[in-house]
Structure 1
């Protein structure tokens, strides 16, 4: 990799992406809902956790390989599905290739800009993500298409609501990249010549359609057309989730669980795993950080299904902290998007290398030879850190009446 593309931390990748991307594109990536309380806490909470290191006897080599949701992976990190990756012309295909090159699984959004067939061709360990939208017949058709394409699992995202107002304002996302929009946005693009040149070489503007939601004989709907369909669909019930799991008939990850009672219901619904997530701070603001909720959930259902964490991961040490608190792996979203924006496939690979190096370094400091050897005692959890949401307290015992003779 050439020196100008190299970065040693995810923070540097983010700064490179900020300098390269048009302002509105970058703002869309960093957005959170309302005041951004959850967005900030997702990262800040990791800093509250400490490590208890060993200084003697560190293993000379460390093993990071693992299995998550039935998939062998080189490290406990997965690509979280994110919609319409217009930060780079190759979008999700570039991310899929990077993930495959580094031996990890890919999550593909149903709102993605690239079709699932191309993404699976780039990474055979692709999970297809769906929202509860439309009717069951249309959802079943989307599942069948994903199945035919070779998707190894399904992700049902439930941690996204209509809470989209932002105190700092929201970037205006166009309905489509038509001629009028291109002319209107050209001043913003012209001050980012390297980004603009990437798309100019393809002869196409950034793609805002959703090809994975295409119905037979119809063009791919635009992002907002798909978004409106989702908004008009009544939210799913637990029976609907059970139907999805049964209809898919394979590995099924329910994304968006923060409460213990929801986790227990998810197990009853037949899921293979749950992602403790708050949609990167883009859902109900003031929800606790994912890392604060994961241990309570993992303690209750981690012996039955895979529990993964999504939200705020920026360092390899964050991954190790999540594993110590009971997660099987972590998903990353913004971190790889910074890499994609900064350098395409090579940038994503760079981010994954940064995370792998951080995981290895943390294992060495903790004196652990294998990622599966990480224990709860390896992290220092301050009082009041954990949020046990949805835990029903046991009823107080009532003393038996004492007979008076």
Structure 2
């Protein structure tokens, strides 16, 4: 499929036109009033550059590595659940990431099995939520290991507060029985081209989550797995240490918002941390991670690799994050817009737009390698931009 957008704003508009309203809002909306979602975008706009006209580079080195995986540029696919917005789903996203030379983060809540995604992109990190018993979790970890996942990401920041002032249900339904289909049919029929994509492949959007299989190996629907998630007691740091030892390989803790938690992640043996507020889908009122990224980077030093996510829409955003100390960024909504607009090809185009934007920005500020980037390359347009992370 030929993809026709030149920037992420166009991809977003096309995604909105393509998706049923409820599906679009589930992709777009943040939690509660969306203040955090807005601040994730606003923070990037409060940083600027000082372009130079001399000593501009003639070549660019965008390469980096995270948890032993080499990346051609410092952008990775964030683990995002329920990508049933296009038939290509997570497998298509993984293929697009592989073609672009970057890594795939696969959510526990994905609609495709980890083994299928790893075949599409061997540089796949499996993301785990603490759902069910330790026995359940151990079996899922072993499944990811057998599939060949390159690393494990444990996400710990979810607070079970999925209330939205946007009229969006907090989670997909627990099944696709006749009543559910009848209720959702008007939404699907409102976007016949979207529905036709599935029907041409002899399928309908699949809301099962195969990587959250239970003791009987049955594959639950999203809503059923969600109810187990809500009933599972939160893990302690000793549980995280147990998980780290169980996995034994490259290990990331995602959802860091404070210096204290960053240091605890280092103590339990994390190889990397992701500074994140869950894309604005967790506690509304949490500032953009960009605002306290430098303090966390300073606090952990070289003891752990630091990744950041939330609000990345342009290559220049990536440059700002790297200049503030991140080694790479995760993108979530950005690739979902491409997926909704054009499947695998749409995701590939989004990644190419970001890569080009990084090069163009670095050309303008006179930097040939991402290793040269620092806070000296940035202008702070709002003197209150930086927020010290508490505790």
Residue number in structure 1 paired with 2:274 = 275
2:157 is matched with which residue?
A: 159
Report the equivalent of 1:187.
Answer: 186
How do 1:394-405 and structure 2 match up within 5 A? none
Q: Which moved more, 1:295-304 or 1:184-193?
A: 184-193
Asked if 1 retains the 8 angstrom alpha-carbon contact of 2:297 and 2:306, the reply is yes
> Which secondary structure does the structure 1 equivalent of 2:57 belong to?
coil
Question: Which of the two has higher C-alpha Rg?
Answer: 1
Deviations 1:75-108 (A, max 9, x none): 0001000111110112000000000000000000
Q: CA deviation at 1:269?
A: 0.9
Match of 1:87 in 2: 85
For normalisation by structure 1, the TM-score amounts to 0.93
Task: Confirm or deny: 8 A CA contact 1:110 1:128 kept in the other structure.
Answer: yes
Q: CA deviation at 1:181?
A: 2.5
Q: CA RMSD in A?
A: 1.3
1:384 matched to 2:384? The reply is yes
Alpha-carbon distance between aligned partners in 2 of 1:264 and 1:359, rounded to the nearest angstrom: 30
In structure 2, what is the equivalent of residue 63 of structure 1?
A: 61
Structure 2 residue 341 is the aligned partner of structure 1 residue 349: no
184-193 vs 147-156, greater mean Cα deviation = 184-193
In the alignment, is the contact (CA less than 8 A) between 1:177 and 1:205 conserved in 2? no
Partner of 1:232: 231
Cα distance in 2 for residues equivalent to 1:285 and 1:216: 35
- Residue 120 (structure 2) aligns with: 122
Supply the distance in 1 between the matched residues of 2:21 and 2:236 (Cα, whole angstroms): 39
Q: Secondary structure at the match of 1:303?
A: helix
DSSP 3-state at the match of 2:275: strand
Aligned pair count?
389
Q: Which runs of 5 or more residues in structure 2 are unaligned? A: none
Structure 1: gaps spanning 5 or more residues: 392-405
Q: Deviations over 1:143-199 (max 9, x none)?
A: 111000000000001121111112232237322223332333222222212111111
Q: TM-score, normalised by structure 2?
A: 0.97
Contact kept in structure 2, 1:93 and 1:118, CA below 8 Å = yes
Mapped partners of 2:127, 2:114: distance in 1 = 10
Q: How far has the Cα of 1:217 moved from its partner?
A: 4.0
Instruction: Tell me if 1:37 matches 2:35.
Output: yes
CA contact (8 A) 1:339 1:347 kept: yes
Report SS of the residue matched to 2:311.
coil
The alignment partner of 1:128 has SS state of strand
- Residue matched to 2:48: 50
The question of whether the paired residues in 2 share the 8 Å contact of 1:322 and 1:330 is answered with yes
